[in-house]
Amino acid sequence: MQESYFDGGLLQLIGYRFLGMLVTVLTLGICLPWAYTENVPRTVTEEQAKTKLEMMEAEKRSEDAAVSFTLEEARNFTENHKWKFATTYAKTAPHEYLVKRWLNEEDRLLFERLVQTINEHAVVGYFYDHPNKYLILGDKYYWYMLVYPENMAVDLINRTTTDYLELRGEVLHYIFKQNV
């Protein structure tokens, strides 16, 4: 038998267990073997986990091999894609983001080129005490959060306007502004 684990949350596990108990009671025990199997949607076998890890590592190798854009190409890429407003941070750190998995295969490769452009052309800036690499293109700046573990590819790029940057000495800092 293959080893497996549940990669869902605690509430999901409790929900599956409750549902299993309910099915067992309603069927007078006939469905007991199926009610408590680990074949719930969030169960992952070791083989599936290894396959997923190999895919993630291949994606990181692809990202590392990507050729960065010129700044004009980067600007064209960012202007021609739909960015989602981060409503959760609307009052504290307004920004938009682009998720790699939302893109088609060709645009995912271009996304990887944008990651490399950020790596090669960005300046270090701070979001409070957290350092980030900021790529400034016109009146917007772009960044991604550091990825852990390091063998994973970047899956999300953020952007906001340069109105939220302030130069202190020689270092850029995010500044909170009410209703910019």
CA distances from 44 to 35, 47, 57, 132 (A): 18, 8, 18, 34
Per-residue pLDDT of the chain (180 residues; tens, 9 = 90+): 455 555 666 777 677 677 777 777 777 767 666 555 554 555 667 888 888 888 888 888 999 999 999 999 999 999 999 999 999 988 888 999 999 999 999 999 999 999 999 999 999 999 888 888 999 999 999 999 877 677 678 899 999 999 989 988 888 888 877 655
The predicted structure's pLDDT at residue 45: 76
The predicted structure's pLDDT at residue 175: 87
**What global pTM score does this model have?**
0.71
Cα atoms in the 13 Å half-sphere on the side-chain side of 122: 21
CA–CA dist 176, 172 (Å, integer): 13
The predicted structure's pLDDT at residue 43: 64
CA–CA dist 126, 174 (Å, integer): 6
The predicted structure's pLDDT at residue 153: 84
CA–CA dist 69, 46 (Å, integer): 38
Task: Classify residue 108 as left (phi > 0), alpha (psi -120 to 50) or beta.
Answer: alpha
**Which residue ranges make up each domain of the chain?**
4-55, 66-174
Q: Is the dihedral of CA 23, 26, 31, 32 positive or negative?
A: positive
- Give the strand pairing for 84-85 and 43-45: unpaired
